[in-house]
Amino acid sequence: MSLRLVRAVAEVENADELHLGRLLILLRSADERKTTAATKAKAIEGITKLAKLDFLLRYPTCLERALVKLGKGAQALAIEPRERTSVETKMIRFRYGPWDSRYRRWLGLLSARGLVALNLEGNTVEIGLTDAGRSLADTFRTDTHFGQLKDRSDLIVKAVGAMTAMRLKEFVYEAVPEIVNMRWGEEITP
């Protein structure tokens, strides 16, 4: 592997735009399942819940295991052979399960760009798309390059989106039990 390729991969991983686009697509999947303006304003309740949903999106082999655990067909995933041996980006084991330290940054960037609305209810950050966020997410979702992300986001939200953040965390531990025994701060490489 050439050094140029390694640098290119590192640049992509550190490009916030890649992650912001993925989160918009995921948020839109959650948003579409809500029926009122009040429920859309809190399409995802909590950064921890967002992280768990995004974990399943970023790690398709873990999503496959979760779907099997739920008794749902995993063939809709159409996991490509390369996805079984590589990881799109790193996540670490944290107190609340799979976590990426950049979620607060990404939500701040999305909010500053007027794409999401954040509301604090007690200790929970409620995350909802703005009209501009919906519009941009819909643009991504109709682009063939993002088709797989859209389909998987829809599948994730349908399968586990109704779970509370705590139940979702517990479910991820049930579906991917090796995470439980990892040390905090250890990189997850399923």
**pLDDT at 10 exceeding the cut of 70:** no
pLDDT at 14: 72
Q: Cα–Cα distances in Å, from 5 out to 2, 12, 72? A: 5, 11, 38
pLDDT at 61: 84
Report the SS3 class of residue 59: coil
**Domain for residue 73, yes or no?**
yes
Whose tokens are 């999947």? That residue is 29
**Domain for residue 169, yes or no?**
yes
Closest by CA position to 74, among listed 89, 53, 60, 54: 60
Distance CA 101, CA 104 (A): 7
**Domain for residue 121, yes or no?**
yes
- Band (pLDDT 50/70/90 cuts) for residue 131 is very high
Element (DSSP H or E) covering residue 154:
helix 147-160
Quote the tokens at residue 80: 């490509």
**Domain for residue 107, yes or no?**
yes
**pLDDT at 147 exceeding the cut of 60:** yes
84-118 pLDDT, tens digit each: 666 554 554 445 556 677 899 999 999 999 999 99
**Domain for residue 1, yes or no?**
no
Neighbours of 105 (CB within 10 A): 13
- Tell me the average pLDDT across 152-179: 91
**Domain for residue 8, yes or no?**
no
Distance CA 63, CA 79 (A): 10
Identify the domain containing residue 47 by its residue range: 18-179
- Tell me the average pLDDT across 70-84: 75
**Domain for residue 32, yes or no?**
yes
pLDDT at 33: 94
Report pTM. 0.84
Higher pLDDT, 117 or 15: 117
Please state the domain count of the chain: 1
pLDDT at 93: 46
**Domain for residue 29, yes or no?**
yes
Residue type, 8: A
45-75 pLDDT, tens digit each: 999 999 999 989 988 888 888 998 998 876 7
DSSP 28-46: HHHHHT--SHHHHTTSEE-
- Band (pLDDT 50/70/90 cuts) for residue 186 is low
